[in-house]
Structure 1
Amino acid sequence: MKIGIVIPAHNEALTIAGCLASVQAAMAQLPKGVSASPLVVLDNCTDNTEAIVKALKVDYLSCDYQCVGRVRDFGLRHVIDDGATWLCCTDADSTVSKDWLAQQISHLLQPTDMICGVVSIADWSNLTPKTREDYLAHYQDKMGHRHIHGANLSFSSRAYLVAGGFEAMPCHEDVNLVKKFETQGFNIIWSNLVRVTTSSRLQARAAEGFAAFLANLEQNH
C-alpha cells in the first residue's frame, strides 16, 4: 500500500518545517508493507517556504493557482500518477498526531472510502476566552462527529477519481468533496482518533476557511 500526503502551502515559512516534522513522525509508525511520502504544493509563494522544503529534501510542486481546491487537486493527481492508492490531506500550518497514519490504517480494516478527522487548536492565547468557550461548545470531538477539515481529510484514490476530485474553489472545497462522496454512496468514517492540531491564526489564507471562522468568532466578541 502506498500513501500520498499532499500539503498545499502559500507563504508558510513559519510553519512548514513543523508540519513536515510531524508528518515524518507519523510515517515512522506505519506498519511493514505500507509506504508514504509527502508532497508540498507551493502556490505562489513569495517567502522562503520553498527553500525550507528543499532543505528538508521533501518533494514539491510549484504553481500559481491561488485557489486551494485547484492546488489540492493538482497535488493529489500527481501522487495518484505516482502510484498512491490512499490519499491524505493536511495543511502547512498544522501538525498531525504521531498515530495519524496508523489510525487511518486501522480504520481501513473495515470498508472505508474516506476518513474525516478532527482538529484541535494549538494555542488559544491570542483569542478571547469567550471565543474558546463558544468554539468548544460547538465542536464535537467524538466518533461520528460531522466536522469537515481540509487539514485532516483522507480517502482512496479510486473513490477520489470516481467522485471527480476537488473542485477549483477558493474555499469550502473540502465540504464540496465530502458531499460528492456522500451523494455517490461511498463509505465515510467520521473519526476523532485521526487527529491534527492546527494554528489559531486569524490571517486567513482562504477567504472563508478555518482562520476566517475563528476570526469571525473573535470579532463577535
Structure 2
Amino acid sequence: MIGILIPAHNEEDLLEDCLRAALRAAQHEALGGEAVEVLVVLDSCTDRSSAIVGSYPVHGLEIQARNVGQARALGAHFLLDRGVRWISCTDADSRVAQDWLVAQLALDADAVCGTVTVAQWDAAFSESAQIRYHQHYQYREGHRHIHGANLGVSAEAYRRAGGFEPLACDEDVQLVRQLERCGATIAWSQRPQVLTSARLDSRARGGFGDYLRDLSQVG
C-alpha cells in the first residue's frame, strides 16, 4: 500500500484541486491496482478545509500544532500504522501529476526528491524576479532541491532515518539529510512532476513562499 501525505493549514481555496489531483494519481493503471490511501493532516484549520476533506474519499487527521514538521510526522505515523510501504508527500497548495506516484516508484530508490513547477505567478512577483528564479532553479536530473511538495520515501528508510522532526520549517530538508547520513539511496529527479503555488503569503515561515518573497525584493 502507498500513502499520500498532505499537511494543510487553512487551504480551502486550493485544497480541492490538490485532492482531485492526488486521487487521479492514486488510480493510475501502472500501479497495478495497489491500494493508495490519501491523508490530509488538518493543522489548526479555522476555514472550510475540514469540510472539504470530509467530502472526498480520503482520511482527515485534525491537530492543533501549527507546526508543519509535527503535522508531517503525525501523518507519517498514521500511514505507517495503516501498513504503507511508501509515503509520498505533497502540499495542499500543489497539484501532483497523474503519473506522480508511478514516476517516484520507477526510480527504484529509498527516497525521491522531485522538482516543482510554479502553476501561476503571484501578481506581486515581477518579471525580473521570475527571471532570477529561473536562473537559479534546476529543472534537471541530479538537481539538489528539496520540496515537501514533491518528496517520496520508503517506510523502511523513513523509520531508519528517524522520521520528520517537529520543525516549523525545513522538516523536509532535515529528513533528507538524515536519510543521507543513514546511507539511503536518494533519486534527485525532475520526472515526478508537481505544480505548486507561487503565493507570497506562505503558510509556513521559512518555506517556499518566503523564498519567493525574498527573491521578489532583490534589487
Output the CA distance in 2 between the equivalents of 1:31 and 1:13: 29
- Mapping for residues 44-193 of structure 1, pairs under 5 Å: 44-108=44-108, 112-124=109-121, 126=123, 127-193=125-191
Task: Normalising by structure 1, report the TM-score.
Answer: 0.96
Output the CA distance in 2 between the equivalents of 1:125 and 1:154: 27
Q: CA RMSD in A?
A: 1.0
Output the CA distance in 2 between the equivalents of 1:186 and 1:101: 19
Q: Which amino acid aligns with 1:117?
A: G
Output the CA distance in 2 between the equivalents of 1:207 and 1:118: 20
Q: Which amino acid aligns with 1:187?
A: T
Output the CA distance in 1 between the equivalents of 2:31 and 2:98: 13
Indicate the residue corresponding to 2:26 in structure 1.
Answer: 27
Superposition deviation, residue 150 in structure 1: 0.5
Output the CA distance in 2 between the equivalents of 1:186 and 1:207: 28
- In the TM superposition, what whole-angstrom CA distance separates every residue of 1:140-189 from its partner, at most 9, and x where no partner exists? 10011000001100000111111100111000111111100111111000
Task: Normalising by structure 2, report the TM-score.
Answer: 0.96
Output the CA distance in 2 between the equivalents of 1:180 and 1:31: 28
- In the TM superposition, what whole-angstrom CA distance separates every residue of 1:16-74 from its partner, at most 9, and x where no partner exists? 00000001111121421422111000000000100111112321100001110110010
Indicate the residue corresponding to 1:199 in structure 2.
Answer: 197
Indicate the residue corresponding to 1:9 in structure 2.
Answer: 8
Superposition deviation, residue 200 in structure 1: 0.7
Identity of aligned residues (%): 44
> Contact (CA 8 Å) 2:39, 2:60: kept in 1 or not?
yes
Q: Which amino acid aligns with 2:120?
A: D
Output the CA distance in 2 between the equivalents of 1:123 and 1:219: 19
Superposition deviation, residue 107 in structure 1: 1.3
Output the CA distance in 2 between the equivalents of 1:172 and 1:24: 26
Q: Which runs of 5+ in 2 are unaligned?
A: none
Aligned length: 217
Which aligned segments of 4 or more residues in structure 1 are displaced greater than 4 angstroms? none
Indicate the residue corresponding to 1:37 in structure 2.
Answer: 37
> Contact (CA 8 Å) 2:87, 2:154: kept in 1 or not?
yes
Output the CA distance in 1 between the equivalents of 2:38 and 2:139: 26
Q: Which runs of 5+ in 1 are unaligned?
A: none
